[in-house]
Chain A
Amino acid sequence: MNDLEAPPVPNLSDLRLSTRQAHLVREITVHNRDWRRGGLTVGSSAFVAAIATVALVLAGPGTANAFAAWTPAPTTPAPGQVSSAEAACERAAAQPPPGAPPRVGAGASQVSLVDTRGPFTLVLFGANTPTQGVLMCVSGPSISPSAHPSSHMSQSNGSLPAPGPGQLTLDRLQGETADNGQPYTIAEGSIGSGVTAATLTLTDGSKVVATTGNGLFLAWWPGSAVVTSATLTTSTGATTQSIISPTRDTGSSGN
């Protein structure tokens, strides 16, 4: 070589690149926490100004597919299911992960909304009351306990717009993974007056019926799809509202 010309590099085949592309997307979706610096933490300020608590509890036995018993529409809770979920949340709140600040127990808060889908229970605590303790508790044989602030802390500070009549505001998408690496996504937000039901349409085309009440909605689903629209039912009929999803928060502090 007698000049500074670039040496040739053989092209990678489309197959090899697409394999590595699929690997990258899968790593980002499923194994992000394995190599993310600092792991999963929640900012301490979230716990200082906290007002709401969300608990997701896996009540059933673990399976190869952690979400095999999940349903796209809410189900009627089994006897004792909700109280068990609340208790599991309090236990998780008492044992923060390494590095996380101490938490205020969820027991001091009122339950604002409960979403049950088969054996899974998602509980929103104290969203409408000035209480402490913002955390999302995940427990069960397939889901390790973890904690996240609810969007309603921010709403209390006036940073999130309230939805108009017949409208829905998607305040937060929380990305999580079960112990076996399967991702799932929790959506929470507010509904305007007159909304009696809400169905979310996701980027993969699937639909998830949300639980609504007290001016709030909750829903969650396996996978990392985000919301593209919501079909809202009011006394005058159903309307579809386009949704610009917030970034799916995976709880990262080091990214």
Chain B
Amino acid sequence: MPSFSEAADPELLTMAGGQPEAFGELFKRHSRSVYAYCARRTGNLDLAEDLTSVVFLEAFRRRRKVKLSNASALPWLLGVANNVVRNAARSARRYRSALDRIPASANGASSEEDALERFRAQEALGRALEAISTLTRAEQDVVLLVLWSDLTYADAATALGIPVGTVRSRLASARAKFNGSAPATKTTTTPLIEEAQ
């Protein structure tokens, strides 16, 4: 039996039902990217940590319904993350008891220096979210995945379940709005964060 660290993501997903540690290896590989996505989506680092756990719990629940078309599970996981963040309040309710069992050592700032860094980072995240609030939610999705999470257009299309051409056109639209060449209608990102909290 190959070790989990040598197995490809699709193999780990297949093994996960009988060997939970295989899904733990998927977490090890992709949790930082999922966390960064959740943090940029919500602007709240503490919430992003819990949402990261929720994303993987939800991904485990859905694992039998997915057939990875990519060697990496990351596009799929970010697609799950997109839905989890969008429905953060509902997701948190479903996994409330699971989140309550997370050890305290996995939460919050671990030192004064860490707390300061997190505070500054959250301020920057807030400014970034405010900046993209002129984009539609669909445009924000592709900005978050392509420009902020470094997915390819194809992987972003996989994550969102839309054609690659739609990813391209939404990104072009987002860039045009951001550069002021197209009329912008401000949309709210803040309510999403409030809902999640």
Contact = CB atoms under 8 A, between A and B. Distances in A.
A224 B28 contact: no
B35 interface: yes
Contacts of B105: 15-16, 19
Contact residues on B (Cβ < 8 Å of other chain), bracket: 35 or more
B32 A11 contact: yes
Given A1-B128, A203-B1, A254 B61 contact: yes
B134 to A, nearest CB: 11
Contact of B35 (A9, A27, A175, A255): A9
A4 B174 contact: yes
Interface stretch (A39-47, A161-169, A242-250): A242-250
Interface in A21-41: 21-29, 31-32, 34-37
Interface string A63-80: 000000000000000000
B94 A19 contact: no
Contacts of A9: 35-36, 39-40, 45, 48, 121, 125
B90 interface: no
Interface residues on A, range: 35 or more
Interface in B62-104: 62-65, 94-95, 97-98, 101-103
A224 to B, nearest CB: 6
Interface stretch (B12-20, B159-167, B188-196): B12-20
A35 B98 contact: yes
Given A6-B147, A9-B121, A23-B102, A29 B32 contact: no
A21 B26 CA distance: 9
The 6 closest A-B pairs by CB, nearest first: A248-B18, A7-B128, A6-B148, A19-B106, A28-B20, A247-B17
10 contacts: A10-B114, A15-B105, A17-B31, A20-B52, A20-B53, A25-B23, A31-B98, A37-B61, A226-B18, A255-B63
Interface of A: 1, 3-13, 15-17, 19-29, 31-32, 34-37, 173, 175, 203, 224, 226, 228, 245-250, 252, 254-255
